[in-house]
Amino acid sequence: MMTLAEVEQLLRRSQPASGPWRGATAALLGLSMLLGALLADPALVPVAPEYRWLVPHLVLACMAAVVLIRLAGQRRLAGRLRRAFEAVQLEDWPAGEAELRRALNAPVGPPAVRTEALLALAAVAEAGRRPEVAARLYEAVLEQRCGEPLQLHAARVALATILLRQGQITDAVNMIDRLDRCDLPEALRAGVEMLVLLRELTLGHSGEALDRAPRRRALFRRHLGTRAGYGYALLAAAFDRAGREDEARRFWHDATMLLRPAALTARFEELAPLALRYPAAERPL
Amino acid sequence: MSRSSPQRAAIAAQLRRQLALARAARLLLLATFLAAAAWAALRDGGPGPLAIVWVLAVGLGVWVLAGLHALRIVRCVRLGTVLMGLGQLDNAEIWLRRAVGQFTFSVRGKCLAGQQLASLMFTRGSYDATIDLCRELLRRRPGGTGRQALNARLLLADALLLRDRPVEAREVLGPVDGRRLSLVERMKLLPIRLRCQLAAGDAASAARELPEQVRLAELLDSAGAALVHALLAEACRRLGRDVEAAFLRRRAALYHDLEPLLERYPVLAPPAAAGDAPGAGPPGRLPGE
């Protein structure tokens, strides 16, 4: 299981070196300068004249080797990250963690790729019930602002969720308010609505949740795919608190059609009473 | 929007011409480079002191310039893709056709442009144009299953199925069988393969490894997940596995409205009547809605 210290180390090690002249670029520049010097003065390197023609070729071979080694490294990293992302998608957390640890143990070049890897590692940490580790990763992504807008948005939503669950209500509410005020496309709005719903449930404002329930249900259904199950379960919790058991039962049924009760309660502990009170949908598969 | 036959033929012919030109130019460049290297190595009966270095340096320079030129094509394709994502299909087509029409040494860049154009035609409902373009992309490698070839294959099979040509679609997917696919590729392939199998009346194959297929479907977006669930439900219905069929149909309805799917995919038509069965509607409607 990851610790905060290990995560700090991975954050440091995965950071690409700054400046234009680094690693393979510096090596290629040095070799090019040497090649240029040899072209200008073939006697620069003290070797017997009959072997002098060989020296530039060796330099060229070194340049080709640098390029090939770099390409091989990039291909290895891409393969490792692909396996990691697949494992995370399939919720094979140990495999995902192992691949991500290996990948992030060395500089990861393109910022968006590194950010994707950090977000995947944060998902692994959340699944392993290490919210403080996940929060640190999300904070790092937001502090470094090295990702694409969609990645930064995902990090904000996930961090606000963790803060809310950890009882850091003021910070969480501020973040959620900012997200709620943003003019977002519907696909992103669906995730934010689920977060706002969780806030309302946490703060005991389930009345608001009931007012917005039809719109939210439609949004979740349209944009969240299987994750809509989490949204339906939270809506069930809101109706349950309002004493409207029929609607609560119906939403809980829909939620458990998409996701098993264990998955729902593992992600949102506040759903545990519903799992005891309402029957889950039967799953013949 | 459907395209006339001459228009379609012109687009496909342009792609064919450009691909042939790019391949010929690359061959010519390579031959020139090899000839120059051989001349430098063998002149005066022995290796020239620095001639080979010069030839290699010039070759490298040309390669870099060709790469930079190919970047222009890639930029056009990227812009076209973004515009397509924003729904600006006319503007997207302008950029993608520009990318297809421009000369480049990069066959891969040209194929990418062709594929995006085929994808645009598919989005517009010009399935015949999609078929023509994808066939051009696969012409040189009829059995190819690399990433680009696989994408072209999937698009082609999808368009053929929508044109009610399931036998050809199955043939197109033939080389994919037995190939190790990534998760994303398996997700893309799943609905197309299921449609092929159901269109061919092979419900038993479609319903094989049901839990794994459902697991994969759960990773798709709402519409994709609904389609796969509806296809699996139909396969189960044909096999008389009514409990599973009802469960899958109910799940499909939870993901997405089924009416548009039934309209688009005739292979799903039989469950239309079953869709009225209790528990097949959208998620729990609230009183007064």
Check whether residue B12 and residue B145 sit in a common domain.
yes
φ, ψ for residue A69 (rounded to 5)?
-65, -40
Q: How many CB pairs under 8 A join A and B?
A: 90
Check whether residue B31 and residue B157 sit in a common domain.
yes
Distance from CA of A282 to the nearest CA of B (A): 8
- pTM, two decimal places: 0.84
Distance from CA of B255 to the nearest CA of A (A): 6
Touching B: A residues 158-217, CB under 8 Å: 213-214, 217
A49, pLDDT greater than 70: yes
Say if residues B35 and B161 touch (Cβ distance below 8 Å).
no
Q: Which of B211, B220, B251 sits opposite A257 (nearest CB)?
A: B251
Domain count, chain B: 2
Q: For helices A54-89 and B51-85, what crossing angle results, to 10°?
A: 20
What residues of A are in contact with residue B280 (Cβ under 8 Å)?
none
In a domain, B288, yes or no: no
Residues 6+ apart with CB under 8 A from B100: B11, B14, B15, B18, B110, B113, B114, B117
Burial class for B37, CB neighbours closer than 10 Å (0-12, 13-18, 19+): middle
Fold assignment, A188-285? 1.25.40
Check whether residue B263 and residue B276 sit in a common domain.
yes
> How close are the terminal C-alpha atoms of chain B, in Å?
36
C-alpha B161 chain-centroid distance: 13
Distance from CA of A170 to the nearest CA of B (A): 33
pLDDT of residue A257: 96
pLDDT of residue A274: 94
* Pairwise CB contact (< 8 Å): A258 & B254: yes
- Nearest residue of chain A to residue B249 (CA atoms): A257
* Pairwise CB contact (< 8 Å): A89 & B214: no
Check whether residue B88 and residue B223 sit in a common domain.
no
Domain CATH number, residue B131: 1.25.40.10
What residues of A are in contact with residue B50 (Cβ under 8 Å)?
38-39, 42, 53, 56
- Band (pLDDT 50/70/90 cuts) for residue A161 is very high
* Pairwise CB contact (< 8 Å): A284 & B244: yes
CB atoms under 10 Å from CB of B202, counted, come to 16
For residue B102, the SS3 value is coil
Tokens at B274, concatenated: 């079953």
In a domain, B289, yes or no: no
* pLDDT, tens digit (0-9, with 9 covering 90-100), for A73-107: 999 999 999 999 999 999 999 999 999 999 999 98
Residue spans in chain A of domains classed CATH 1.25.40: 1-16+26-182, 188-285
Secondary structure (DSSP) of chain A = ---HHHHHHHHHHHSPPPSSS-HHHHHHHHHHHHHHHHHH-GGGS---GGGTTHHHHHHHHHHHHHHHHHHHHHHHHHHHHHHHHHHHHTT-HHHHHHHHHHHTTS---SHHHHHHHHHHHHHHHHHTT-HHHHHHHHHHHHHHT-S-HHHHHHHHHHHHHHHHHTT-HHHHHHHHHHHHHS---HHHHHHHHHHHHHHHHHTT-HHHHHHTHHHHHHHHHHH-GGGHHHHHHHHHHHHHHTT-HHHHHHHHHHHHHHS-HHHHHHH-GGGHHHHHHSPPPP---
Check whether residue B189 and residue B163 sit in a common domain.
no
Range of the domain at B69: 1-180
Touching B: A residues 62-101, CB under 8 Å: 82, 85-86, 89-90
Q: Which of A82, A228, A282 sits opposite B182 (nearest CB)?
A: A82
In a domain, B287, yes or no: no
Along the 289 residues of chain B, how does pLDDT read in single tens digits?
A: 556 677 778 888 888 898 899 889 889 988 988 888 788 767 665 555 567 777 777 888 888 888 888 888 889 999 999 999 888 999 999 999 999 888 888 888 889 999 999 999 999 999 999 999 999 999 877 666 688 889 999 999 999 999 999 999 999 998 888 888 999 999 999 999 999 999 999 999 999 999 999 999 999 999 999 999 999 999 999 999 999 999 999 999 999 999 999 988 988 875 444 444 434 445 555 444 4
What residues of B are in contact with residue A247 (Cβ under 8 Å)?
284, 286-287
* Pairwise CB contact (< 8 Å): B284 & A257: no
Q: Which of A223, A253, A285 sits opposite B214 (nearest CB)?
A: A285
C-alpha B263 chain-centroid distance: 22
The H or E element containing residue B80 is helix B51-85
Q: Which of A39, A51, A257, A278 to mutate to test the interface with B (most CBs of B within 10 A)?
A: A257
* Pairwise CB contact (< 8 Å): A284 & B53: no
* pLDDT, tens digit (0-9, with 9 covering 90-100), for A249-261: 999 999 999 999 9
In a domain, B111, yes or no: yes
Check whether residue B117 and residue B50 sit in a common domain.
yes
Distance from CA of B204 to the nearest CA of A (A): 16
* Pairwise CB contact (< 8 Å): B254 & A228: yes
Radius of gyration of chain A (CA): 26
Check whether residue B176 and residue B186 sit in a common domain.
no
Check whether residue B140 and residue B239 sit in a common domain.
no
What residues of A are in contact with residue B282 (Cβ under 8 Å)?
221
Handedness of CA B278, B279, B285, B289 (dihedral sign): negative
- Nearest residue of chain A to residue B280 (CA atoms): A254
- A254 lies within 8 A of chain B by CB: yes
Region of B6 on the Ramachandran plot (φ > 0 left; ψ -120 to 50 alpha; else beta): alpha
Check whether residue B166 and residue B217 sit in a common domain.
no
Give the span between the Cα atoms of B279 and B251, in whole angstroms.
9
pLDDT of residue B280: 45
Longest dimension (CA), chain B: 95
- Nearest residue of chain A to residue B86 (CA atoms): A185
Check whether residue B132 and residue B86 sit in a common domain.
yes
- Band (pLDDT 50/70/90 cuts) for residue A200 is very high
Long-range (24+ apart) CB contacts under 8 A made by B41-47 are B47/A53
Give the span between the Cα atoms of B268 and B160, in whole angstroms.
16
pLDDT of residue A85: 96
Q: Which of B48, B183, B214 sits opposite A89 (nearest CB)?
A: B183
Residue B48 DSSP symbol: -
CATH number belonging to domain A1-16+26-182: 1.25.40
Distance from CA of A217 to the nearest CA of B (A): 8
Check whether residue B9 and residue B25 sit in a common domain.
yes
Amino acid symbol at B121: M
* Pairwise CB contact (< 8 Å): A57 & B52: yes
- A269 lies within 8 A of chain B by CB: no
Check whether residue B165 and residue B201 sit in a common domain.
no
Domain end, chosen from B160, B180, B200, is at: B180
Q: Which of A53, A225, A284 sits opposite B47 (nearest CB)?
A: A53
Q: Which of B210, B255, B284 sits opposite A225 (nearest CB)?
A: B255
Q: Which of B53, B221, B282 sits opposite A225 (nearest CB)?
A: B221
Distance from CA of B174 to the nearest CA of A (A): 25
- A240 lies within 8 A of chain B by CB: no
Give the span between the Cα atoms of B4 and B6, in whole angstroms.
6
